[in-house]
Structure 1
């Protein structure tokens, strides 16, 4: 059973089992995504580093304070900045990711000109503020407001941000074995990005899913077929507690809900492609199922419908 351990400006830390903790981000405060802390026995693992150096430092400080150990390993689940921009706080730890994720962090996130990046981010935030003021759809408006707040926190930390790359790479699975427990890092391809890692603790029946599962959020899809396959494999694991990349701690029901969502997007998109329904008509006439109608996301459900439709259309 989860127990509140500590609260910072960026996240709330919960104990899930002896030596296992989940850091659940506070909306709009600079953490943006959830993270995990796992005591293996002699060594300490942190899963994802949040979206700013400041949040990353708080995460590392909490991890080392509550366990009395130095962080040995930091795992990057995928390349998105809200999960890796805190990496520099773990300068004295060993950073781990798949080789694809490492490549994408370097390709997508390296900042060559800070002043130019700062100006572009300020322009983006100004445009976002105008867009928010003109929107009526509450779920998208709420998502954009959170995006604005989170990106503003990234902007504050931008002058101090250093993108740190993982130095240890794996492909399909990496086992971190300790005297108390083992942590299994699994990558079964890419659903949300080209390469997505989740962390499974078989002794505790706990899984940290990162952005392979979210709560009430239209997470962007990268490859709907791989996404479905990954989630089907995770369903075979013994899981009592699941920590999504965004949202609250829960159980396996969160996995099933998100898997249903991905399958629905996939099935409806394939049907439209088979029936040669034009993309614009498919999107404009789509009726969101009630169970997903209140989900948030900066592009709503339309972004994922477009991605999936294009994926299957290109495959024909």
Structure 2
């Protein structure tokens, strides 16, 4: 049997993109399971949410956005630190790049390693990798909340840290007047979760509780289609929670009985594949997800840094 291609290295076909206007001056770009990105108009400026993997990729998004608004980008909001979300930042020419305090610390600690790791896992997203000028550094950080007054009658945009989850420093962008939430990778809409840098039990519990408590009518997750309507939003949050809880149950059971990481991966794959196996990046993510969760059960509180070399070691260990 041929070896399974590493991560998403064989996924080289561009995905159709959909630009949606969610409300007056609120935009989202989705791409069939590729990272989502968004923008919110202020009275005379833009707030952009996420930056994509390279400036070249980001400029393609901005060209689509410029069909609808020519306002300058005042704020670029980074929901967390992963390379495919942040390294396109220079294309936005933003006055202020906003992230959580922990995200800045993570960039300093492991940004270079993450850059090499993620571009190796997802080469298609690293469009014109040479266009990246270096690590993206936030110029404004916060611990709990950060409010952006949009001006006129547009209300405020609230950036919040609901707790540790996908990473230590995830933030969401909440428009209470429109009841629209950009949730970053804390919620996925029919796309598999990547949890290699996660805090699984916090994410599945109080962090998702805090996201759900906002009661958005429209939710843009990290990947997947825009979710509309309270029932659909609750279902997306519920699916994310169920994915995490299933992993916790399966990996925990194997760990408790003195099994191996490989056995934990096999059990978790079997438990998830029927419901989630057809979702984008499921096969790519799961070896790294299980490895991180195994570390948590082994008492390793903070995620071990992923390097290109460690990626391959874990991948090879867990494949049949």
TM over 0.5: yes
**Match of residue 195 from structure 1:** 169
Following the alignment from structure 1 to structure 2, what is the Cα–Cα distance between the partners of residues 186 and 197? 5
Partner of 1:185, secondary structure, is: strand
Q: TM-score if structure 2 supplies the norm length?
A: 0.75
Partner of 1:150, secondary structure, is: coil
Partner of 2:290, secondary structure, is: helix
Partner of 1:269, secondary structure, is: helix
Structure 2: runs of 5 or more not aligned: 1-13, 302-320
Structure 1: runs of 5 or more not aligned: 1-7, 112-116, 126-143
Q: TM-score if structure 1 supplies the norm length?
A: 0.76
**Match of residue 106 from structure 2:** 104
Following the alignment from structure 2 to structure 1, what is the Cα–Cα distance between the partners of residues 32 and 19? 11
State whether residues 190 and 223 of structure 1, in contact with CA within 8 Å, keep that contact through their aligned partners in structure 2: yes
Q: Within the alignment, does 1:53 sit opposite 2:55 as a pair?
A: yes
1:80-99 superposed matches below 5 A: 80-99=82-101
The alpha carbon displacement at 1:240 in A equals 1.5
Following the alignment from structure 1 to structure 2, what is the Cα–Cα distance between the partners of residues 257 and 160? 34
Judging changes above 3 Å, is the alpha-carbon distance between structure 1 residues 171 and 106 closer, same or farther for their aligned structure 2 residues?
Answer: same
What are the superposed Cα offsets for residues 232-278 of structure 1, whole Å, 9 maximum, x if unpaired?
21111121111111111114121211111111112333333334444
Larger fraction in helix: 1
What are the superposed Cα offsets for residues 253-307 of structure 1, whole Å, 9 maximum, x if unpaired?
2121111111111233333333444433333344224212323335443432332
**Match of residue 135 from structure 1:** none
Q: Within the alignment, does 1:291 sit opposite 2:275 as a pair?
A: yes
**Match of residue 202 from structure 2:** 226
Judging changes above 3 Å, is the alpha-carbon distance between structure 1 residues 281 and 10 closer, same or farther for their aligned structure 2 residues?
Answer: closer
The alpha carbon displacement at 1:160 in A equals 5.0
Q: Within the alignment, does 1:205 sit opposite 2:179 as a pair?
A: yes
Supply the RMSD in Å over aligned alpha carbons.
2.9
**Match of residue 8 from structure 2:** none
- Of 263, 280, 286, 1:281 maps to 263
Following the alignment from structure 1 to structure 2, what is the Cα–Cα distance between the partners of residues 72 and 9? 29
The alpha carbon displacement at 1:168 in A equals 0.7
1:242-257 superposed matches below 5 A: 242-250=219-227, 251-252=232-233, 253-257=235-239
**Match of residue 259 from structure 1:** 241
Following the alignment from structure 1 to structure 2, what is the Cα–Cα distance between the partners of residues 83 and 272? 33
